[in-house]
Amino acid sequence: MKKIILSTLVLSVLFSCKETPKTEKEVIVEEKEEVAIVDRSKDFPTDIASVFKAHGGIQSFDEKNSLVFELANPEGNEKHTTDLKTRHARIETDKFQLGFDGKEAWIEQDSTYFKGNPRFYHNLMFYFYAMPFVLGDDGISYDKVEDLKVGETSYPGYKISYGEAIGDSPKDNYFVYYDNESYRMKYLGYTVTYFSKESSEKISLIEYSDWNDVDGLLLPKTLKWREYQDGVVGEVKSERNFVNASASSEKMDFTIFSKPKEAE
């Protein structure tokens, strides 16, 4: 009888010893290490960092993984979806679907409604909309420029240029002008070199007039293209409005950016 009790006790101890490490291992597997987002504010000129801060902060933008917005059109809105880390993109309308999968741009449509260049257009509105935060991308140089004078008001500004082989149009230049008190963006000047591949002196000008709080980021509600020549700001030529915007830390499913079989 004593032998049976002893054997049972030994088996019980051995069984317990084998079970304990298994339980500990399961706990370790379930633990997930969070990756901290480094605040890059000190990487930029003080004024540019202040502009980022006025719009919610560059760290807040870096914590986001996706951005969705709609470009309002009378004939139907364009829904733009962008992965903020890879810059994969997708544009959806009733007439066509357009995207960029990281290697090539594609378009799917039943007609010839969209006559532009998919590669040029896939991130065009995203760039204007995600200002000023896209000016925090790698490979950018910042140079102080003369103030932009509009009426009796002067707006301080910086020229933004890119290193070689940065993006599809490294010779593009941007000029960001901001309110001297609030540090919010007010105007954006830009050149287009995608098609010519040559530097350009022709500057187009956008006024950033209204803003929306999009999940902690201050992003534009309305963009107004202004007449601009020889440093003189003229009348409004056209405007674009943005609705239904959202920014999230959740990562996108990459399949939505994949080129459909029927796409060009």
Question: Alpha-carbon distance 159 to 190, whole Å?
Answer: 9
pLDDT for 151: 93
CA-to-CA separations, 125 to 13, 72, 122, in angstroms, rounded:
68, 12, 8
Distance, CA of 226 to chain centre? 24
Question: Alpha-carbon distance 164 to 168, whole Å?
Answer: 10
pLDDT for 207: 98
pLDDT for 12: 40
pLDDT for 176: 97
**What's the pTM?**
0.80
Are 175 and 188 in contact, with CB atoms under 8 Å apart? yes
Query: Which SS3 state, helix, strand or coil, does residue 57 take?
Result: coil
Which residues on adjacent β-strands are paired with residue 80?
69, 91
Judge if the upstream peptide bond of residue 170 is cis by omega within 30 degrees of 0: no
The structure tokens listed for 86 are: 């890879």
pLDDT for 196: 46
pLDDT digits (tens), the chain, 264 positions: 433 333 433 334 333 444 444 444 344 434 445 567 888 888 999 999 999 999 999 999 999 999 999 999 998 999 999 999 999 999 999 998 899 998 889 988 877 777 778 888 888 999 999 999 999 998 899 999 999 999 999 999 999 997 654 554 456 789 999 999 999 999 999 987 754 454 567 899 999 989 999 999 999 999 999 999 988 999 999 999 999 999 999 998 888 888 776 665
